[in-house]
Amino acid sequence: MTTFRVFSSTTLAVLLLDVCLVCCDITDGNAEHLKREHSLMKPYQGVGSSPSSQWDFWGSTLVTSSYVRLTPDERSKQGSIWNTVPCYLKDWEMHVQFKVHGSGKKNLHGDGIALWYTKEKLHPGSVFGNQDPFLGLAIFLDTFRNDLHGMDRSFPYISAMVNNGTVSYDHGKDGRSSELGGCSAEIRNREHDTYLAVRYSKGRLTVMIDVDDKNEWRECIDIGGVRLPTGYYFGASAATGDLSDNHDIVSMKLYQLMVEHTPEEENMDWSKIEPSVSLLKSPKDNIDDPTGNFRSTPLTGWKVFLLLLCALLGIVVCGVVGAVVFQKRQERNKRFY
């Protein structure tokens, strides 16, 4: 009896803690905050080069009613799709549903998809179909290993790069010298839907993936000290080489994150920011981040508050249970005597 009670109070505390952590980490999928002008969704009405269109495409891109195929499973193709409305949100989260599939056997397919938030749009080039160098943020879903020395990581490999317009993407090294972080993920020829989310808020860049049909996000990249301006364009591109794949985008949904900024931050001109990264480390190692970028996020504040609340609740529950148990024991003792 006693053991059971103590156990259940601990379980309760752990449960509460879980609930708290989950609610802090929730991805803002709130429909109210969906920004239609920056989102690409079935059946892709109005996608094209008309003046009223909010998305334009280039190259091998084929728009059907259920997907946007950036490249077919054929050699030497390049395609892209771009939001034509610049984004002036300071804090945002992009959810991308994608599908990479083809007839190539393991390691005989390529090259992958890149997701963009850049100053320029519709400039074809050698970085997964986009220009080199680019100015802004790229998330690469690299399905082909070019660097045969980099056997310490498995492919497909997802990575992020922030460029001020001066650094070339090193295909031969799969972008390793300029990457900010990354993870391996089985994203190809999956039967179920595959998703990737990019969150940029308060100088923190987070990339999460949901590719194992578990309906939950797995963290892939999380770094602080990232500076990106407003007024850039979202896009996606893909390329094939000697090896190929179908590279499909099913949807890109942009959500505005409700985050408060200091009056100073509000008053500065965010469109003048130069893309840069002050720390080439994961924020987990950045507890002493001098910019305070990471610690001052409201998310972290909330997390601390809720953790404290949970701890307090846990203590109270343990205390009450302890008191009850103690009292019962006293009564039993009384009866024994």
Ligand X SMILES: *[C@@H]1O[C@H](CO)[C@@H](O)[C@H](O)[C@H]1NC(C)=O
Site residues (vs Ca ion, CB under 5 A): 142, 144, 146, 174
- Pick from ligand X, Ca ion, none: which does 146 bind, CB < 5 to 8 A by kind? Ca ion
Please count the other Cβ atoms lying within 10 Å of the Cβ belonging to residue 2.
Answer: 13
> Residue 38 CB, nearest distance to ligand X (Å)?
27
**How is 149-210 classified by DSSP, letter by letter?**
T-TTS-SSEEEEEEEES-PPP-GGGTTGGG--EEEE---BS-SS-EEEEEEEETTEEEEEEE
Binding site for ligand X (CB under 6 A): 164, 166-167, 274
- Pick from ligand X, Ca ion, none: which does 219 bind, CB < 5 to 8 A by kind? none
The angle at the Cα of 55, spanning 217 to 260, to the nearest 5 degrees, equals: 50
| CA pair distance 55, 81, nearest whole angstrom | 7
| CA pair distance 183, 164, nearest whole angstrom | 23
- Pick from Ca ion, ligand X, none: which does 142 bind, CB < 5 to 8 A by kind? Ca ion
| CA pair distance 235, 336, nearest whole angstrom | 77
- Pick from Ca ion, ligand X, none: which does 164 bind, CB < 5 to 8 A by kind? ligand X
- Pick from ligand X, Ca ion, none: which does 144 bind, CB < 5 to 8 A by kind? Ca ion
Closest CA to 219 of 241, 197, 247, 204: 197
Beta bridge partners of 264: none
> Residue 177 CB, nearest distance to ligand X (Å)?
10
| CA pair distance 102, 243, nearest whole angstrom | 10
> Residue 34 CB, nearest distance to Ca ion (Å)?
32
> Residue 116 CB, nearest distance to Ca ion (Å)?
17
CB-based closest residue to ligand X: 164
- Pick from ligand X, Ca ion, none: which does 174 bind, CB < 5 to 8 A by kind? Ca ion
Asked if 82 and 129 touch (Cβ cutoff 8 Å), the reply is no
> Residue 274 CB, nearest distance to ligand X (Å)?
6
In the complex with ligand X, which residue's Cβ is closer, 9 or 178?
178
In the complex with Ca ion, which residue's Cβ is closer, 122 or 141?
141
In the complex with ligand X, which residue's Cβ is closer, 242 or 274?
274
> Residue 196 CB, nearest distance to ligand X (Å)?
24
Q: Which strands, in side-by-side order, build the sheet including 68-71?
A: 62-63, 68-71, 246-256, 92-101, 194-201, 204-210, 218-223
In the complex with ligand X, which residue's Cβ is closer, 80 or 131?
131
